[in-house]
Every structure is written in structure tokens, then in C-alpha cells.
Chains A and B, each alone.
Chain A
Amino acid sequence: MLSYSLKRLLQAIPTMLIVITIAFFLMRVAPGGPFDGERALPPEIEANLMAAYHLDEPLPQQYLRYLGNLLQGDFGPSFKYKDFSVTELILQGFPVSLEIGGLAILLALALGLPLGIAAALNRNSAIDYAVMGTALAGIAVPNFVVAPLLALVFGVLLGWLPAGGWNDGALPNLVLPVVALSIQQIAYIARMMRASMIEVLGSHYIRTARAKGLSERLVVWRHAIRPALLPVVSYLGPAIAGIITGSVVIEQIFGIPGIGRYFVQGALNRDYTLVMGTVVFYGALIVLLNLVVDLLYSALDPQIRYDD
């Protein structure tokens, strides 16, 4: 297991190199540049800017320069947020995104899994319909609708919670963004858990276990839940990478200083160094979390082994 993990981590290097290379050139062939804005710049000023950021060099040379800096841990300066380096922006924003996202995932698991299991165990009952109906509503309403609605109801009309702002992570400021971020995840997890529970409960070995006279409770807890978690875990790997790197919608509506906006705003501004920074960071998370997922598979189902 250990050697497998080490091997996977070593493989991350070529994987990331490919990601960086493709992303770098992908971004640079896209139309629009970092200095295209509402006001056209006089050519001499544009020339100064291009020179200052080495954008006047041939693309391969810029690519090598970027790789060289990256090896020294330097993500470069942001084109847009000039008083911060990309490293500073990510280091400042990631803990915030991690906090909000982490709480949202915990909430989603704490509610989604039991709800899914309960629905599966009481299939086609009122509980089932209530859970699935609510879950579907959660899936059908996008977060760009949920977030302003929550701010309006709890922040403006009821006045129970701040309508926005970070306030250095004070608890009241966390509630609405975490809830807004988790609603969809609760629904996803409940839906998937229900389906895979039903699948597992209908399988032969559960029937065998029941036939052996094991109590229903034991059957469910000992034998059904673990294999049923498998598809949820598969989904969660990339999903967690997405959630803990923030959501641009949630951050903009609640004024959360996370890194989610950099993925979208960075791209819209053509802030090349910032986009590359987010790509590298996100890519590393994906590689790491998918490794964790693969390790979890063996824990959930001992028959799954990685022999080489």
C-alpha cells in the first residue's frame, strides 16, 4: 500500500507537467489578452506592459521561463492584483475556501448519507418520497439562486445573520455560505447513497447474510453500508477538490475572500499567471484526492487490490 502510494505520488510529476504544458498553451491561444479592456491602451503603453511581463518573448521561451520559476516555487506576479504574488493570493485565500468548503462537505455528509440510507431502507415510503423530493429540489435550484435568496431572507428580511462579508471568519458570517454551498451536495450525496444502498441491499451476499439469520441492523451496518459507499466515494474525490477550492458564485454573493473566484475571474481577466497558479494547485489536489479515493476503495472493499 505504501509503495503503491509512493509510486502514485511519483507519477504525479509527469501528470502535472502535462497539465501545465497543455494549460499554458491552451490559455495563450485563446482570444483576448490581459490588457484588453474597456479602454484601448496606446501602443507605447501596451509595449511597456508586454515587456514588463515578458509577453513580448516567443511563446516557447515564456513557457521555459515559467517552468523555471515554478521549479523555484515562484508562481509569478498576478497581472491584475498587483500588490500580491500568485502564491500570496492562493495562500491567503485557500484557508478560507478550505474552511467554508470543508464545513460544507462535512454538513453534506452528515445529512446526505443518513438521509440516503433512510430513504433506501424505507423504499417507496413517505420518508423516501420526502427525502428524494427535497433532494431533487436542492438539485434543481442552482446556487446562484439559492445564495442571494438566503442572503435576502436571513440577512435582509429576518435580520438573523449577516447578509454577507467575511469578518475574519466569525461564526455568523460562515452559516449562510456554508449552507448555500452544501445544499446541492447534500442532495447529490443522498441521491447517490440511496441508489447504491438499494443496489447493495438487493445483491446476493446481502440476501445470503439475511438467510443466515443475521439481524437486519447487523446486515445493514456490517455488510451493506461499506460497499454502498463506493460510488459516493468515487464521486467525492473530484467533488471535494472542487468544493474546497471555493465557488465563485458563493464567494461573490457573500463576499468571501476565497480562491474560487480566481478560477473564473482569473480566466476572464486573462490573468495568465493567476490562471496557471490555480491550475497547478487544483491539479495537485485532484491527483492527491483521487489517490485517496483509490486507497479508500480497498478499505471499503478488501477485494479491491492494486497489485503493481
Chain B
Amino acid sequence: MTSRSLTPDADAGMAGDSLGREAWRRLKQNKAAMASLWLLATITLVCVAGPWLTPWGLADVDWNAFGVAPTLDGGHWLGTDANGRDLLTRTLYGGRVSLSVALVATLVSLAIGVLYGAVSGYLGGRVDNLMMRFVDIMYSLPFMFLVILLMVVFGRNILLIYAAIGAVEWLDMARIVRGQTLALKRREFIEAAHALGVKDRKIVTRHLIPNAIGPVIVYVTLTVPKVILLESFLSFLGLGVQEPLTSWGVLISEGTDMMQTAPWMLLVPSVFLALTLFCLNFLGDGLRDALDPKTR
């Protein structure tokens, strides 16, 4: 198990460029992943271009259509909400918020969590102990007050809220990556790299993290729905999006209240969310295979 894992890094000079190209080539061969990628791109594009696609604005009220079911004539293809606003339009706008929350928060949690966990696990001993106690502390703090405080200090800034969510979600990621690192670092290929005098920094970034990529990618795909729904709780507190702007999480929780009387209000945003998650999942699996150093 040593030699193969070591070789790509023995000539690390050319790795950066060809690694990406190689992975991309392999990803392209995965049909499910590519279909997901295209669908995800389409959803994103539709959400971004939303305002020009529907005849209604975000806050436009159709005074003749309060809570009407989806219909082809009348212009509300996916129905209206209780306030007479076009649900398709609002779902598309909501997608902008939710997709960007998911993107920013996931990236933040990925960046902090993976590096933190890998360093902690690799260095081990007292450093690991200290770093993990800090994680314990972060876990234990009441999230709601943490976010409120951030808002008090920095003002009502939507980007900051995204970052706050990411700053909480990285904890699980750090614990998982650290666990993987603890197991990996005793393997021969890491010890061999160590013996060869490869720098710690390089061992972490070139050997440990790529070998922990599988669980990381899966956990990322699990983080996305969590983050999107967490945002709706923050909106409840008045810390997320404010009316008339909305998000998928907010639309879904509003729809739950109307579940029995106007099911489309729950179904429409839920379908968008579910589709996105399915795509992310298949794309994640494809990426994992493409990036896996063992199968390279």
C-alpha cells in the first residue's frame, strides 16, 4: 500500500495541474455525476435569472388570487402563497438565498473543518487535545446567542449570517477528519513520507486530506440541507432574510403550516430542495471517485 500512494507526490511538481485535469476527465465519464452537474447548473441559472422568467415580481400581490392552487391559465403555474404572491417567483428568489447560504456556509465549514481536523489529528498529543477541547467548547455554546451576538457586533449582514452558520457546522467536519487522520497517520505511506523528510505541511495537504476525501464529500452533501434549514430558524429569529425576500427553508416552514389546506405551498419549495440534494449527492459520489488517490 505504500508505493502507489507515494508515487504521485514524489513528482509533486507536476501534480497540481494534471491532478485537476485527470479528475475532470474521470468525472466526465460518470454519467450520473455529469447529469447532476448539468441539472444543478440549470437550477442555479434559473434561480439567478428568475426575475426575467416570470411575469411577477417578488413582492407583487395578485389581489384576485390568494392561495390559489397551481394552474396553467391565470399565470400562476405553481400557485400563489397566502398573500397572493406567485410561488414560482418566490421559490426562484428563495433559491438564490438558499443556494448561496449553502455554498458559503459549506465552503467555510469545509475550509476550517478539514484543515483543523487534519492538523489536530496529525500533530496529535497535546496539540490535538487542546484543539479538540476547543471544539468541545464550541459545541457546547448556545448557537442562538452566538449568532445574536455576531449580529449585535457586526450588524444585520446576510453574508455574516452565512459565515456564522459555517462557523458552527465545521465542528462535525473537524471531528470526522481528525478521526480519519488518526487512523491514516500510522499507515506506512505516511510514515514513509515522514522518513523521507517530506514536510509536515505537505504530508497534511498532499497525503492526509486527499485520503480522507470520501467521508468529507459525503458529509458535505449532508451539511447542505442542514444549513438550508438552519437558515429558516435564523429567519424566524429575524436574523436571516427579511420579508419580502425569502428562502427555501422559510418557504418550506411556511408551507408546513398550510400542509393540509394548500399542499403546493409545501411541495413546490420541497421539490426544488430535494432535486438540489439529489444532484449534490450524485455529483459528490462522482467527485469522490474522481479524486480518490487510491484508484488513481
Count: A-B pairs, CB below 8 Å: 167
Please pick, from A141, A198, A278, the residue contacting B214 in the complex, using a CB distance under 8 A: A198
Query: Is there contact, CB below 8 Å, between B294 and A203?
Result: yes
Query: Is there contact, CB below 8 Å, between A204 and B294?
Result: yes
Query: Is there contact, CB below 8 Å, between B214 and A199?
Result: yes
Query: Is there contact, CB below 8 Å, between A202 and B215?
Result: no
Which residue of chain A lies nearest to B181 when distances are taken between CB atoms in the complex?
Answer: A304
Secondary structure dominating the interface of A: helix
Q: How many residues from A make CB contacts under 8 Å with B?
A: 65
B99 is an interface residue with CB less than 8 A from chain A: no
A75 is an interface residue with CB less than 8 A from chain B: no
B residues in contact with A286, CB < 8 Å: 136, 139-140
A residues in contact with B70, CB < 8 Å: none
Q: Counting chain B CB atoms within 10 Å of each CB, which of A139, A149, A238, A301 scores highest? A: A139
- B240-296 CB contacts (< 8 Å) to partner A: 252-253, 256, 259-260, 266, 270, 273-274, 277-278, 281, 285, 288, 292, 294-295
A residues in contact with B277, CB < 8 Å: 136, 139-140
B residues in contact with A145, CB < 8 Å: 252, 256, 259, 266, 270
Which residue of chain B lies nearest to A231 when distances are taken between CB atoms in the complex?
Answer: B215
B142 is an interface residue with CB less than 8 A from chain A: yes
- Chain-A contact segment, one of B40-48, B155-163, B216-224: B216-224
A residues in contact with B175, CB < 8 Å: 234-235, 237-238, 290, 293
Q: Hey, what's the 0/1 contact readout for B118-129 against A, CB within 8 Å counting as 1?
A: 000000111001
Q: Counting chain A CB atoms within 10 Å of each CB, which of B135, B222, B266, B292 scores highest? A: B222
Residues in chain B within 8 A of chain A (CB atoms): 1, 4-5, 124-126, 129, 132-133, 135-137, 139-142, 144-146, 148-149, 152, 171-172, 175-176, 178-180, 182-183, 186-187, 214-215, 217-219, 221-222, 225, 229, 252-253, 256, 259-260, 266, 270, 273-274, 277-278, 281, 285, 288, 292, 294-295
Q: Hey, what's the 0/1 contact readout for A197-221 against B, CB within 8 Å counting as 1?
A: 0110011110010000000000000
- A163-210 CB contacts (< 8 Å) to partner B: 188, 191-192, 195-196, 198-199, 202-205, 208
A residues in contact with B152, CB < 8 Å: 29-31
Cα distance A234–B218 when bound, in Å?
Answer: 13
Residues in chain A within 8 A of chain B (CB atoms): 11, 15-16, 18-19, 22-23, 26-27, 29-31, 132-133, 136-137, 139-142, 144-145, 148-149, 152, 188, 191-192, 195-196, 198-199, 202-205, 208, 227, 230-231, 233-235, 237-239, 241, 263-264, 267, 275, 278-279, 282-283, 286-287, 290, 293, 297, 301, 303-304, 307-308
